[in-house]
Structure 1
Amino acid sequence: MLSAIKGSFIIAQTPFDERGAVDLASIDSLTEFYLGHGADGFVVLGVSGEGGKLTPEEAQQVSGRFIARAQGKPVIVGVSNPSTAQLALLAKQAMDQGASGVMIAPPGGLRTEVELLGYFATVFGMIGDVPTVLQDFPGSTGVWMSVPSILKLVESHAQIQVVKEEDLPSLEKITQLRAGGGRRVAILTGNNGLYLPQEMGRGIDGPMAGFSHPEMLSGVYRLFTQGREDEAHDLFDRYLPLLNYEAQGFWGVAARKEVMRRRGAIRHATMRMPGPKLSAIHMGEIDRLLRNLERTLAARR
């Protein structure tokens, strides 16, 4: 059951080699990197994981490799797709590989609550009882889901066991969802982790985000759950300049991959096309951010 999950769930990057081919060996090292820095679970083939740039065969390869290397930790596979037939196929393949569940966001073009409820009724009629993370990310999908609509979906479909809340402003929406009553589901949040301490204070069950220093995400979660809120905020603040730099859409993902390459997590920082390529200016900015972070961390030891 995903409804009881909590902790730091990492939005995993998809590593590519210098030619843009999937780098399976780097998936192995990347998974070890995430686990070594406190990951409680994984989400693969998400938006920032470049899932939309993979062929169906590559998507299966990537998800299967992460699942095999996750040491029993939950792996959730992003299967959002404009085609409900393709979505259903991806969901079946993920669960057959041993995924703990799937993540689904509404497709662009839905404009009314009737359309939204009808879409998910169709999807769940096709995929059956697959545990699902409902992704509320209008910045990517263009579909805005109100709190009453989300609560209706939760009550109508037992498959929805987690809400990934990354609408902005996220804080009020989290509070409203928690106050909405009905069946309790886990709430995890994304938005690059930019509001993690405040979201923890609003009652989320952990981050579902990507960052080149996942030890910050897991550290803030653990300090908060231990009642050490001031320390959690202090830890977060040390990493905030770099975290903010990585929040630049796919440019930020490119920077994240470069930092993780430098940390030995992956062999190459390649983004699959269409995607940005970092310039010498970007590299200089990253150099400065990492130097400043190193000084800040050293001063707090």
Structure 2
Amino acid sequence: MSRLTEEARGVYVIAATPFQDDGTLDLESADRMVDTYLETGATGLTVLGMMGEAPKLTMEESRRFVQRVLMRVDGRVPVVVGASSPGFAQMKELSDMVMGEGASGVMIAPPGALKTDDQIVTYYTQAAEFIGDAPFVLQDFPLVTGVQMSVSVIARIVRDLPTCVCLKHEDWPGLEKISALRAPQALDRRISILCGNGGLFLPEEMARGADGAMTGFGFPEMMRDVVREMEAGNPERARDIFDAYLPMARYEQQPGLGLAVRKYVLAKRGIIASPALRKPGAPLTAAARAEVDRMLDRQEKRLKELN
């Protein structure tokens, strides 16, 4: 498996972790999910992210799941593994494990206790020391972590830590940050910027200089097509495609509900066998399922009209 580099671009799908109805890992669904993402045109996969229910897995389950994904991918695309942990010992153990299995890099989110710029830089400096030469993705997601990373802090991390090769940009609002990071001399070197938030701002993020998406959505083909059309210089076509999926993307972005929606859609599409979340985590109510079903019907009509 090739290592993650500053050249990462396209769509790195944040993969869900499939469970059976009783909460046990569903590795057969994981195979089907990986196949679907690759057939859809994903240029990479990210597993054990925040929407992958990573904190609900034991270390052994994490190993089994990552091994299964890597086996199924078989080197066709890079695989990034979330390695965020409360302590560096756990982070190092997980990072060493997945890199030894053939992962391309790891993703690290900051703990919420970091309040100052110096604390953030020190944390990532120490994290980089613990994980050694493993390339890492800097996850900037203040809506969840509570940690605000300024452009100057990101610049310091990029300058001092050569193993930082990608920014997972999920600040909101964050378009001006992308422009600032892409301004001449903002960074000592160009790194990849892949964006999250379910692709909800993907056309605008691409126009500001992002290299693609690193996020999940029940229809990763939307992100594939938007990135492809933006890179081809067809922004209006990209926005037409995006608009067809927008109601579903918006609905899936509800805090606390989004993963249940995504898994329900993946199950309806036959990609995973069950929409189950591991507890704590509740399924959609009948009313919510009916809302999703109506949106899916309308989405199908829009896509037929578009094509």
TM-score grouping bracket, smaller chain normalisation:
over 0.9
CA-atom RMSD in angstroms? 0.9
Of 123, 128, 132, the residue aligned with 1:124 is 128
Q: Which residue is 2:35 aligned to?
A: 32
Shift of the alpha carbon at 1:236?
Answer: 0.2
Does 1:10 find its partner at 2:13?
A: yes
- Aligned partners of 1:54, 1:66: CA distance in 2, in Å? 15
| 1:207 partner SS | strand
Question: What displacement does 1:69 show?
Answer: 1.1
Aligned mate of 2:203, from 191, 197, 203: 197
What aligned pairs does 1:122-201 form with structure 2 within 5 A after superposition? 122-179=126-183, 180-201=186-207
Three-state SS of the structure 2 residue aligned to 1:164 is: strand
Q: Does structure 1 residue 221 correspond to structure 2 residue 244?
A: no
| 1-structure distance, mates of 2:271, 2:179 | 36
Letter in 1 for 2:219: H
> CA shift at 1:274, angstroms?
0.8
CA distance in 2, matches of 1:157, 1:144: 19
Q: Does the CA contact (< 8 Å) of 2:170 and 2:197 recur in 1?
A: yes
Amino acid at match of 1:88: K
Contact 2:263–2:275 (CA<8 Å) still a contact in 1? yes
AA aligned to 2:159 is: E
CA drift at 1:276: 2.2
Take 2:257 and 2:282, find their aligned partners in 1: how far apart are those partners?
Answer: 6
* Map of 1:70 onto structure 2: 73
Could you list the per-position Cα deviations for residues 146-194 of structure 1 after superposition, in whole angstroms to 9, with x for gaps in the alignment? 1100100000000100011111111001011111131110000001110
Q: Which residue of 2 aligns with 1:19?
A: 22
Instruction: Find the counterpart in structure 1 of residue 57 from structure 2.
Output: 54
Q: CA-to-partner distance for each residue in 1:10-50, whole Å, 9 max, x for gaps?
A: 00000000101110000000001111111110000000111
1:83 to 84, 87, 99: 87
**Residue identity matched to 2:293:** D
Structure 2: give runs of 5+ residues left out of the alignment.
none
Deviation at 1:67, TM superposition (A): 1.2
Secondary structure of the structure 2 residue equivalent to 1:63:
helix
3-state secondary structure, aligned to 1:110: coil
Counterpart-to-counterpart distance in 2, 1:79 and 1:14:
15
Shift of 1:249: 2.8
Looking at structure 1, the residues matched to 30 and 270 of structure 2 have their Cα atoms a distance apart, in angstroms, of: 12
- The whole-number CA distance in structure 2 between the counterparts of 1:223 and 1:71 is 28
Other-structure match for 1:265: 271
Q: Distance in 1 between matches of 2:227 and 2:23?
A: 34
* Matched letter for residue 126 of structure 1: F
Runs (4 or more) in structure 1 with deviation over 6 Å come to none
Q: What does the per-residue CA deviation read over 1:176-221, in whole Å, with 9 as the maximum and x for residues that have no partner? A: 1111131110000001110000000001110111011110000100
% identity of equivalent residues: 45
Residue identity matched to 2:49: G
Q: 2:60 and 2:254 mapped to 1: Cα distance? A: 29
Q: TM-score, normalised by structure 1?
A: 0.98
| Contact preservation (8 Å) 1:250, 1:275 | no
3-state SS in 2 of match to 1:43: strand
Aligned mates of 1:260, 1:143 — CA distance in 2 = 31
Aligned to 1:280: 286
The two structures have a TM-score, normalised by structure 2, of 0.96
